[in-house]
């Protein structure tokens, strides 16, 4: 009898041993083992015997290790005290098998403990914005408004500066009238120059107000989704409770700061002003006092944020990121989406126009998710929206709706699950990042409700194989077979920085991975102590990864990568170095 066969027979014998009632029902034991598997900390050694052993069998020690030792000891005693050779072999194999299970559980507990310890260290290090804090700014008059830098379907964005902001010597930046030639040039929104960003470090977003009324309370309630990325001091104290009421009895969540999610520093209501280009760019949304034919209300909501040079779409029209740079950009989107999902927020309108971009000290693009007007923010964090009628909004851009959203049918008890919808949109935007047309745009584009995965066009050969794998997995139609944003981000992290830890995976693979995580944590902590490396995109990504470590997510990411390696052609490109 081979060792493998003996262990198999021993485990089979042990299963029937449990089922006949000596150690109570097998289901109860399985539940106990699952709970004990993830228990970490000082008290990981054992479970109390009375939790799953009858009183007459409490002489067994309190863990599987003790049970294995008892069984093995009994087998050796039978060796010299008699008994059939077959029974002795099976009894010993059962003891050895239980010991192997205990060893695997012990390794898992240690790995989980390592992940939680690292996570606790990096969660204490909160993200700090590079923008200087300011204590005022709850009125429109507190800002100097510059040129229009963007316009969407529900708002216009202007560059701005606080009066206390640092300006160029001897210059005041006031709104001036321009001749027709300058106005024509301004209609084409272009990336901002460094000089403009220095003089106007802020951006003011003015929302359209068609039906919310002109009271501050009504405006804040109607546009509460826009306040999802608002900071703790964004609203005046008297308006805080109004904004938290939300629509349909749902409390909008406020997400904590993250390097890949926009931060709203101030939110207030004010009378709609006549800003540069208003009559030409958006005459219909102006109130009647500014345009007799306008349909807008007198007051609206204003949001104050950091000013960014351009959108992701504008950047990609003028630049072509390298393979590693593109992988870092996809990774940033996944980190931002994961941060939102963990806090119960689905963006529901993720596209290249709704991603802002700046550059770190090394010139690497830093991506920031913005525009939360279509977001879903629920108090229970389920990200499941009741879909009982067609009046319930599915979200924003129909072209980039995940298949489970686009194909949802309204009816009693129907729900739309948005937990992986934004991750699917990241997969679609990834094509644009790597210089390809978005496969779901245009008259000849694929329809997210009908496409087949084999219809997806291939990414350029220069794209790393692991990144191509992540994009393919994100665009799976079935959400149950699609990785979450966290798992997909872990795959790219391991591909970019943990390739050696993935080599020659065996029974010691998770231990090797845990050792790499400890080394990586030490490196990131040392780099973060200096100003030069603390604001780099790669350092921010590594901190996000380490602050979100979960053993099961990490194990799933490793499994996807190993599966991809097995199916990969022998000469497929790997992740490229800097």
More confident: 127 or 188:
127
pLDDT at 168 over 50: no
> What is the per-residue pLDDT for 345?
93
> What is the per-residue pLDDT for 452?
95
The mean per-residue pLDDT over the stretch 550-566 comes to 86
Domains in the chain: boundaries = 3-123, 140-307, 345-567
Percent of the chain with pLDDT over 70: 66
With CA atoms as reference, report the closest residue to 175 among 149, 195, 146. Answer: 146
Q: Which of 36, 338, 349, 466 is catalytic?
A: 349
What lies within 8 Å, CB to CB, of 206 at 6+ separation is 155, 156, 157, 158, 272, 275, 300, 301, 302
Tens-digit pLDDT profile for residues 130-166: 556 666 789 999 999 999 999 988 999 999 998 664 4
More confident: 187 or 79:
79
Confidence of residue 252 (pLDDT cuts 50, 70, 90): low
- Cβ atoms within 10 A of the Cβ of 24, count? 15
With CA atoms as reference, report the closest residue to 37 among 102, 116, 98. Answer: 102
Tokens representing 96 are 């050895």
More confident: 232 or 252:
232
> What is the per-residue pLDDT for 194?
59
Tens-digit pLDDT profile for residues 460-512: 999 999 999 999 999 999 999 999 999 999 999 999 988 776 665 554 566 77
Question: CA 14, CA 31: separation in Å to the nearest integer?
Answer: 17
> What is the per-residue pLDDT for 236?
83
Question: CA 422, CA 420: separation in Å to the nearest integer?
Answer: 6
pLDDT at 208 over 80: yes
Residue 565: φ, ψ to 5°: -65, -35
Fold of 345-567: Transferase(Phosphotransferase); domain 1 (1.10.510)
pLDDT at 187 over 60: no
Confidence of residue 58 (pLDDT cuts 50, 70, 90): very low
Integer angstrom CA distances of residue 331 from 235, 429, 485? 32, 12, 9
> What is the per-residue pLDDT for 249?
40
Confidence of residue 396 (pLDDT cuts 50, 70, 90): confident
With CA atoms as reference, report the closest residue to 418 among 396, 446, 451, 445. Answer: 396
> What is the per-residue pLDDT for 73?
61
> What is the per-residue pLDDT for 55?
42
What is the CATH architecture assignment of 140-307?
2-Layer Sandwich (3.30)
The mean per-residue pLDDT over the stretch 111-123 comes to 78
Top-confidence range, 16-30, 383-397, 399-413, 535-549 = 399-413
> What is the per-residue pLDDT for 120?
82
Instruction: Judge whether 506 counts as a catalytic residue.
Output: no
| Average pLDDT over all residues of the chain | 77
Question: CA 256, CA 124: separation in Å to the nearest integer?
Answer: 13
Top-confidence range, 337-346, 371-380, 521-530 = 337-346
pLDDT at 410 over 70: yes
Q: Tokens 């997969």 belong to which residue?
A: 427
With CA atoms as reference, report the closest residue to 485 among 428, 423, 529, 537. Answer: 423
Residues in the chain: 578
More confident: 296 or 396:
296
């Amino acid at each position: 009898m081979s060792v493998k066969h003996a262990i198999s027979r021993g485990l089979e014998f042990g299963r029937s041993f449990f089922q006949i009632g000596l150690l109570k029902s097998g289901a109860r034991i399985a539940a106990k083992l699952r709970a004990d598997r993830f228990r970490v900390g000082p008290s990981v050694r054992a479970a109390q015997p009375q939790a799953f052993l009858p009183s007459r069998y409490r002489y067994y020690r309190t863990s599987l290790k003790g049970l294995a030792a008892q069984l093995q000891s009994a087998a050796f005693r039978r060796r010299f005290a008699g008994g059939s050779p077959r029974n002795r072999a099976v009894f010993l194999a059962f003891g050895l098998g239980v010991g192997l299970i205990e060893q695997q559980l012990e390794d898992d507990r240690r790995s989980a403990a390592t992940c939680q310890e690292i996570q606790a260290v990096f969660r204490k290090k909160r993200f700090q914005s590079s923008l200087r804090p300011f204590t005022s700014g709850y009125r429109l008059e507190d800002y100097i408004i510059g040129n229009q830098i963007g316009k969407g379907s529900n708002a216009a964005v202007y560059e701005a500066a606080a009066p206390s902001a640092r300006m160029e010597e001897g210059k005041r930046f006031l709104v001036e009238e321009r001749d027709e030639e300058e106005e024509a040039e301004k209609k084409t929104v272009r990336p901002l120059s460094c000089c403009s960003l220095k003089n106007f470090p802020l951006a003011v977003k003015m929302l359209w107000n068609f039906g919310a009324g002109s009271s501050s309370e009504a405006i804040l309630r109607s546009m509460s989704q826009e306040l999802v990325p608002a900071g703790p001091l964004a609203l005046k104290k008297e308006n805080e409770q109004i904004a938290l009421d939300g629509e349909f009895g749902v409390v909008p969540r406020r997400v904590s700061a993250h390097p890949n999610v926009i931060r709203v520093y101030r939110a207030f209501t004010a009378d709609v002003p006549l800003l540069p280009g208003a009559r030409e760019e958006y005459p219909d949304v102006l109130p009647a006092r500014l345009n007799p034919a306008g349909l807008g209300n007198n007051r609206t909501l204003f949001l104050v944020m950091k000013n960014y040079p351009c959108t992701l779409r504008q950047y990609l029209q003028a630049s072509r990121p390298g393979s590693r740079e593109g992988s870092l950009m996809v990774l940033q989107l996944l980190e931002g989406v994961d941060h939102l999902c963990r806090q119960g927020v689905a963006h529901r309108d993720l596209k290249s126009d709704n991603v802002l971009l700046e550059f770190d000290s090394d010139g690497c693009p830093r991506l920031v998710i913005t525009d939360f007007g279509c977001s879903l923010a629920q108090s229970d964090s389920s990200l499941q929206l009741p879909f009982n009628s067609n009046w319930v909004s599915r979200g924003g851009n129909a072209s980039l709706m995940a298949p489970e959203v686009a194909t949802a049918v309204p009816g009693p008890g129907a729900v739309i699950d948005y937990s992986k919808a934004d991750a699917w949109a990241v997969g679609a935007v990834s094509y644009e990042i790597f210089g390809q047309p978005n496969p779901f745009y245009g008259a000849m584009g694929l329809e997210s409700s009908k496409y087949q995965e084999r219809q997806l066009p291939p990414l350029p050969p220069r794209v790393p194989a692991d990144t191509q794998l992540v994009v393919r997995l994100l665009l799976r139609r079935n959400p149950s077979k699609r990785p979450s944003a966290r798992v997909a981000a872990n795959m790219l992290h391991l591909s970019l920085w943990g390739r050696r830890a993935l080599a020659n995976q065996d029974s010691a693979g998770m231990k090797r991975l845990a050792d790499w995580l400890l080394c990586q944590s030490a490196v990131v902590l040392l780099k973060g102590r200096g100003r030069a490396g603390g604001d780099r995109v790669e350092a921010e990504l590594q901190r996000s990864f380490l602050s979100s470590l979960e053993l099961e997510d990490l194990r799933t990411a490793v499994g996807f990568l190993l599966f991809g390696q097995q199916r990969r052609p022998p000469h497929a490109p790997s992740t490229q170095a800097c």
